[in-house]
Amino acid sequence: MARYDIAVIGAGSGNFLANRSLRDKQFAIIEENLFGGTCLNVGCIPTKMFVHTADVANWIRDAGRFGIDASLDGVRWADIRDRIFGRIDPNSAEARQGRVDGANTTVLEGHATFTGDHRLAVDLGDHVEEVTADQVVIAAGGRPVIPTEIAESGVPFETSDTIMRIDELPRSLTIVGGGFIAAEFAHIFSALGVEVTLVVRGDALVRRTDAEISERFTALATKQWNVHLGRTVAAASYDDRVVTLELDDGSHVVSDLVLVATGRDPNTDRLGLDKTGIELHDDGRVVVDEFGRATVPGVWALGDISSPYQLKHVANHEARAIAHNLAHPDDLRAFDLRFVPSAIFSHPQMAGVGLTETEARAAGHDVVTSVRDYGDTAYGWAMEDTTGICKVVADRATGLLLGAHVMGPDASSLIQPAIQALSFGLPARDMARGQFWIHPAMSEVLENALLGLDLR
């Protein structure tokens, strides 16, 4: 049985653990798929490269509003796809090779299951290798959830893990789901000329955002795409290269291709955790404390396998903390998940940090809000924007900012000053008047929203 100081299951953010502070430790890096994990290979990085391409297509279509005559003459899907993965795939291969050649890392390319608290069986295809380690870090990520009605129907379908590598654009695409992933892929494919339909279980899209953002985005989505709200898939069939989804109201949606985007589950059910004392949450995530420690001493977890936030920047933060804790067991560093921001790269973009208005009221705050339109700023005029908004939520009594929520172009960048203010406890009034805001930059929409707060 091979023995290591540290065994890491998953080479996404888990790959960051073998850093300079732990160069005296011998690592086993166990990965059954591609190095770089979800984000690099099938998640945030390639999707945003597709999103930017989709944005370019929309800019061309929209140029006439600015007095520029332009037309979108065609979309070369294969060229778009190959350009993107021509950059992604070598990056993943380079990450792998760096660990294969590493002085203190051994790469085991196979599936790991626990046979005890600190013992692993790694299926390498032609044989199984037994591994034991003083410390084990579980960073095995998650996978797409497939509704039973689709999974057991036999119809072909794509997920976010596969759809970016399809050979050609479909004429029509049905997306089952109404969250972050669904909103982003609806934008990508519709901008590239595909007729997009969404089947959404809830009464609105992106319901984890602030209710006002969700409501406004849903209204805009219904103008761009065919949206079926409050509907689920009852049955599915495939005939003559066409997929038919029967919805729970008896209606039917027909398309060339189906994308299932109904969420992701942690991969804990594939790790043999019943052979250990590792406890799980009801939703399958590994239970960890504020330092990333599981319920078995010497076992840690990070990222989508344990975190309530399926976000790369959270996984990276947790990896940095756990790397520190492995190197400095007498000086543990806690995760700081107080103000986790998120962004949705759809059309338009959305971003948020802190409490929504509903959450702030439920928490008992004396809530005051302020909403300002992009179009009320000078740069908003330049953009001819008619839908973008910035909303801030504060506590009237303390003057502290509680949350910020933006919908519109570059929302993912505009939110950053609010993230900083929340993280360092900067009162809303001090944030608004304690610094310069470049005029006429788009960031003035955040300044204006802050100034609109009715604080004591």
Same domain for 183 and 115, yes or no, is no
Q: State which of 211, 237, 262 marks the end of a domain.
A: 262
Query: Hey, what are 213's tokens?
Result: 């953002």
CATH of the domain at 203: 3.50.50.60
Same domain for 254 and 388, yes or no, is no
Confidence bin at 240 (pLDDT 50/70/90): confident
Same domain for 127 and 23, yes or no, is yes
State the average pLDDT for the chain.
97
Residue 220's domain comprises 148-262
Among candidate residues 114, 92, 120, 118, the one with its CA nearest the CA of residue 33: 92
Among candidate residues 174, 154, 158, 183, the one with its CA nearest the CA of residue 231: 174
Same domain for 271 and 140, yes or no, is yes
Chain segment 79-108, per-residue pLDDT in tens: 999 999 999 999 999 999 999 999 999 999
In a domain? residue 340: no
Given this model, what pLDDT does residue 270 score? 97
What residue ranges in 60-118 does DSSP mark as E strands? 105-108, 111-116
Q: What average pLDDT does this structure show over 427-452?
A: 97
Chain segment 282-323, per-residue pLDDT in tens: 999 999 999 999 999 999 999 999 999 999 999 999 999 999
In a domain? residue 338: no
Confidence bin at 189 (pLDDT 50/70/90): very high
- Per-residue burial over 303-317, b if 16 or more Cβ lie within 10 Å, else e, is bbbbbebbbbebbbb
Same domain for 70 and 205, yes or no, is no
What are the C-alpha distances in Å from 434 to residues 129, 321, 419, 431, 454?
Answer: 60, 32, 16, 5, 17
- Examine the residue annotation and report whether 405 is marked as an active-site residue of this protein: no
Same domain for 293 and 318, yes or no, is yes
Same domain for 402 and 364, yes or no, is yes
Total tally of structural domains belonging to the chain:
3
CATH of the domain at 358: 3.30.390.30
What phi and psi, each to the nearest 5 degrees, are found at residue 186?
A: -60, -45
Same domain for 289 and 229, yes or no, is no
Chain segment 321-370, per-residue pLDDT in tens: 999 999 999 999 999 999 999 999 999 999 999 999 999 999 999 999 99
Query: Hey, what are 377's tokens?
Result: 């700023």
In a domain? residue 12: yes
Same domain for 298 and 406, yes or no, is no
Given this model, what pLDDT does residue 316 score? 98
Q: What average pLDDT does this structure show over 206-229?
A: 98
Chain segment 405-418, per-residue pLDDT in tens: 999 999 999 999 99
In a domain? residue 108: yes
The active-site residue, picked from 52, 252, 328, 439, is: 439
Find out whether 456 and 399 touch, Cβ atoms under 8 Å.
yes
Q: State which of 262, 294, 318 marks the end of a domain.
A: 262
Same domain for 250 and 303, yes or no, is no
Predicted TM-score (pTM) of the model is 0.97
Q: Enumerate the β-bridge partners of residue 28.
A: 7, 106
In a domain? residue 339: no
CA atoms within 13 A on the CB side of 132: 5
Same domain for 281 and 300, yes or no, is yes
Given this model, what pLDDT does residue 173 score? 98
In a domain? residue 337: no
In a domain? residue 200: yes
Given this model, what pLDDT does residue 456 score? 79
Q: What average pLDDT does this structure show over 266-278?
A: 98
Given this model, what pLDDT does residue 99 score? 97
Confidence bin at 120 (pLDDT 50/70/90): very high
Same domain for 138 and 155, yes or no, is no
Q: State which of 209, 236, 262 marks the end of a domain.
A: 262
Chain segment 373-390, per-residue pLDDT in tens: 999 999 999 999 999 999
Chain segment 359-374, per-residue pLDDT in tens: 999 999 999 999 999 9
In a domain? residue 413: yes
